[in-house]
Amino acid sequence: MMQEPQQEHLLQEMKRMEHLLRLKEQELEKLRVSHLFLETIFDGIHEEILVIDENFVVHNVNRTFLERHGVRKQEAVGRKCYEVTYKAEVPCTFSRQDCPLEKAKSTGNRIEVTHRHESGSEDFKEVIRIVYPVAEEGKTARYFLEISRDVTEYRKLIKTLQASERRLRGILDTATDAILSIDEKQRIILFNDAAERIFGYSRSEVLGKNLNTLIPAHYGDHSKFVKRFIETKTSKVMGKTLSLTALRKGGKEFPIEMGLSHQETEGDITVTAIIRDVTAQKNLEKKLLQSERLAAVGKTVAHVAHEIKNPLMIIGGFSQQIRRSMTEEKSIQKLHMILDEVGRLERLVADLGDFTKEYRLVKRPADINAVIRDVLNIMGEIYSGGKHGFEGDLAPNLEEIICDPDKLKQVFINTIANGLEAMEGGGTITIQTRKWDPHGVEIRITDRGVGMSEEELLHIFEPFYTTRESGSGLGLSISYRIVQAHKGEMWPVSRPGEGTTFIIRLPSN
Ligand SMILES: Nc1ncnc2c1ncn2[C@@H]1O[C@H](COP(=O)(O)OP(=O)(O)OP(=O)(O)O)[C@@H](O)[C@H]1O
Ligand SMILES: [Mg+2]
């Protein structure tokens, strides 16, 4: 009777135990899974992992560590970490590297250090080591986890990139041509020193701006070319030289030659333009063309002038003789007209002679200011009517130059006369002189007359080019040759309706 409740109790106790056992087993299974999980991570991870204690003794290492160091687990476990990793007999602090374990021990925190080893530039090695204390909150850690990442390749890559960047910068900064790159939206992303010099903008002013800032769309089809290229990745202009007009800061146009190339990195397209300022070259071409033209025309003119001279002398001489034997008033009048015209032709032939003959300059030291004062006196006498005026703005202390002052007078008179003719309604001609570096004089003759178009400017130095009814078109071509004979330069700056300035530069000898 007494046994029944006891049996019952025992049965219940057994059931409870069984239940507890099942729970424990389940927990154990969970732990086993979790351990497997950790082990998989531990061994599968790409970083080297070491489990060490406070005395540097290795308790566990992962597979990556074993593979990198070429050791077996039993060779690593139980030895000091520095022996295994560096084959050293002393902790890392001895070789002037920070020991992350020492620091983690003293602070109880996660510690990260970088270890660098350099045995010759080839054998450079860089490793980032992170040590985590493994301890429950508030307790001192007895174990530490060291995770190391070898960043040598990454560092080498950065070094190579930096070196290549420096080389590129060197090329960019020493290039005499402007080099600039744009992205797909035609925004400027690179602008070298020469580009700064040529365009007059600083890098900070143009980076991020559209290419149109430098080469306005209406000056050339570059914008279209680039757009088409970016869209279709084919282009006729890549690798070719384009002749375009560009814009300097301040709005001055100038001729350029541009070559385009493209770079594509993972879908990002960059277009690079190498731009040459061809202003000087174009000016030289223009001058050369002008000299060639002048030389060719000069030859023909010399020939014609020579052929005309003798018949003209005969016509003039016989006309004089006939004139003397004439009595009839009307015929005498007609003969006078013939003689006048012959005179005009003789003067023209003399002018042509001036134009065609080789100038033999009679040089001496002369003060250009004094020459100009003389010219202004003569012109003032001739144009004393009142509607025209002259203004001299002459630099004091101008050095004398070796020149032919009489021939130069002719240049100044021709140029001033043209200026006066350009201001039919009247106006003032200004003549400036100043020192022209290093040794020489610059003379500027300015009128506020009708000015000239681009097209006119191309022809004014050609002989017989004139827009005036009574002009011979020789004034400027003779002047040009005189200045050339002085090894000087002469050119106009002019806009229609805004007047003209002729600039003449003469070297000191
Ligand atoms: N200051 C000026 N303003 C406007 N046009 C000018 C000026 N100087 C020259 N020209 C233009 O250049 C042309 C050529 O000038 P150039 O002095 O050679 O000949 P010209 O004056 O016509 O004749 P001439 O032989 O009598 O001097 C002129 O006809 C004129 O059209
Ligand atoms: Mg003239």
**Does residue 266 share a domain with residue 191?**
yes
**Does residue 49 share a domain with residue 71?**
yes
Decide if 16 is inside a domain: no
CA 495 to chain centroid: 29
Decide if 167 is inside a domain: no
Residue 269 has pLDDT above 90, yes or no: no
**Does residue 181 share a domain with residue 245?**
yes
Residue 238 has pLDDT above 80, yes or no: no
Q: How confident is the model at residue 144 (pLDDT cuts 50, 70, 90)?
A: very high
Query: What is residue 439's predicted lDDT score, i.e. its pLDDT?
Result: 82
As to burial, measured by CB atoms within 10 angstroms (0-12 exposed, 13-18 middle, 19+ buried), residue 67 is exposed
d(CA 504, CA 490): 4
The model's pLDDT over 14-60, given as tens digits with 9 standing for 90+, comes to 999 999 999 999 999 999 999 999 889 998 998 999 999 999 999 99
Q: What is the percent of the chain with per-residue pLDDT over 70, rounded to a whole number? A: 94
Among the three residues 356, 386, 405, which one is the final residue of a domain in this structure? 356
Query: By mean pLDDT, which of 273-282, 294-303, 455-464 is the weakest?
Result: 294-303
Query: By mean pLDDT, which of 297-301, 344-348, 458-462 is the weakest?
Result: 297-301
* Residue 34 DSSP SS3: helix
Among the three residues 312, 328, 356, which one is the final residue of a domain in this structure? 356
**The CATH number of the domain where 83 resides is what?**
3.30.450.20
Name the strand (E) or helix (H) holding 250: none
**Does residue 458 share a domain with residue 381?**
yes
Which neighbouring-strand residues pair with 365? Answer: 402
Query: What is residue 218's predicted lDDT score, i.e. its pLDDT?
Result: 65
Decide if 35 is inside a domain: no
From the CB of residue 414, how many other CB atoms can be counted at a distance below 10 Å? 20
Nearest CA owner, ligand 1 atom 28: 466
> Considering every ligand atom, which ligand is closest to the CA of 451?
1
At residue 439, what is the residue type? H
Closest CA to 298 of 502, 492, 480, 489: 480
- Phi, psi (degrees; rounded to nearest 5) at 83: -70, -40
Decide if 148 is inside a domain: yes
Among the three residues 223, 248, 277, which one is the final residue of a domain in this structure? 277
The model's pLDDT over 196-234, given as tens digits with 9 standing for 90+, comes to 999 999 999 999 998 888 877 666 556 676 777 777 766
Residue 3 has pLDDT above 70, yes or no: no
Closest CA to 441 of 491, 399, 386: 399
Decide if 17 is inside a domain: no
Our answer on whether the CB atom of 446 is closer than 6 Å to any ligand 1 atom is: no
**Does residue 409 share a domain with residue 378?**
yes
The model's pLDDT over 314-330, given as tens digits with 9 standing for 90+, comes to 898 899 889 888 889 98
Probe ligand 1: pick from 430, 466, 495, max atoms within 8 Å of CB?
A: 466
CA distances from 506 to 400, 404, 419, 431 (A): 11, 11, 20, 15
Our answer on whether the CB atom of 269 is closer than 6 Å to any ligand 1 atom is: no
Nearest CA owner, ligand 1 atom 1: 419
**The CATH number of the domain where 416 resides is what?**
3.30.565.10
> Considering every ligand atom, which ligand is closest to the CA of 478?
1
Extended beta strands in 380-453, E state: 388-394, 401-403, 427-435, 440-447
**Does residue 206 share a domain with residue 112?**
no
**Does residue 313 share a domain with residue 240?**
no
d(CA 416, CA 114): 81
| Contact present, 493 and 501 (Cβ < 8 Å) | yes
**Does residue 190 share a domain with residue 129?**
no
Nearest CA owner, ligand 1 atom 8: 418
**Does residue 215 share a domain with residue 105?**
no
Name the strand (E) or helix (H) holding 484: helix 475-485
Distance 421 CA to ligand 2 centre (A): 8
Nearest CA owner, ligand 1 atom 29: 466
**Does residue 286 share a domain with residue 273?**
no
Which neighbouring-strand residues pair with 437? Answer: none
At residue 8, what is the residue type? E
Distance 147 CA to ligand 1 centre (A): 89
Distance 471 CA to ligand 2 centre (A): 7
d(CA 60, CA 58): 6
Decide if 158 is inside a domain: no
**Does residue 433 share a domain with residue 456?**
yes
Which atom of ligand 1 has the smallest separation from the CA of 474? 25
Mean pLDDT across 324-351:
87
Decide if 4 is inside a domain: no
Probe ligand 1: pick from 388, 468, 494, max atoms within 8 Å of CB?
A: 468
| Contact present, 489 and 504 (Cβ < 8 Å) | yes
Decide if 392 is inside a domain: yes
Our answer on whether the CB atom of 449 is closer than 6 Å to any ligand 1 atom is: yes
Which atom of ligand 1 has the smallest separation from the CA of 478? 18
**The CATH number of the domain where 348 resides is what?**
1.10.287
Q: What share of the chain is helix, strand, coil (3-state, %, to 5)?
A: 50, 25, 30
Our answer on whether the CB atom of 133 is closer than 6 Å to any ligand 1 atom is: no
Q: Which residues surround ligand 2, an ion (CB under 5 A)?
A: 418, 475
At residue 451, what is the residue type? G
- Phi, psi (degrees; rounded to nearest 5) at 368: -60, -35
Our answer on whether the CB atom of 476 is closer than 6 Å to any ligand 1 atom is: yes
Distance 437 CA to ligand 1 centre (A): 29
d(CA 162, CA 374): 68
| Contact present, 366 and 319 (Cβ < 8 Å) | no
Nearest CA owner, ligand 1 atom 20: 473
The model's pLDDT over 53-110, given as tens digits with 9 standing for 90+, comes to 999 999 999 999 999 889 999 999 999 999 998 888 888 877 777 889 989 999 989 9
Q: How confident is the model at residue 413 (pLDDT cuts 50, 70, 90)?
A: very high
d(CA 347, CA 191): 60
d(CA 264, CA 270): 6
**Does residue 496 share a domain with residue 388?**
yes
Extended beta strands in 95-187, E state: 111-117, 125-134, 143-150, 178-182
Query: What is residue 367's predicted lDDT score, i.e. its pLDDT?
Result: 95
What is the residue range of 186's domain? Answer: 175-277
Our answer on whether the CB atom of 472 is closer than 6 Å to any ligand 1 atom is: yes
What is the tally of structural domains in the chain? 4
- Phi, psi (degrees; rounded to nearest 5) at 443: -120, 130
| Contact present, 69 and 84 (Cβ < 8 Å) | yes
Our answer on whether the CB atom of 181 is closer than 6 Å to any ligand 1 atom is: no
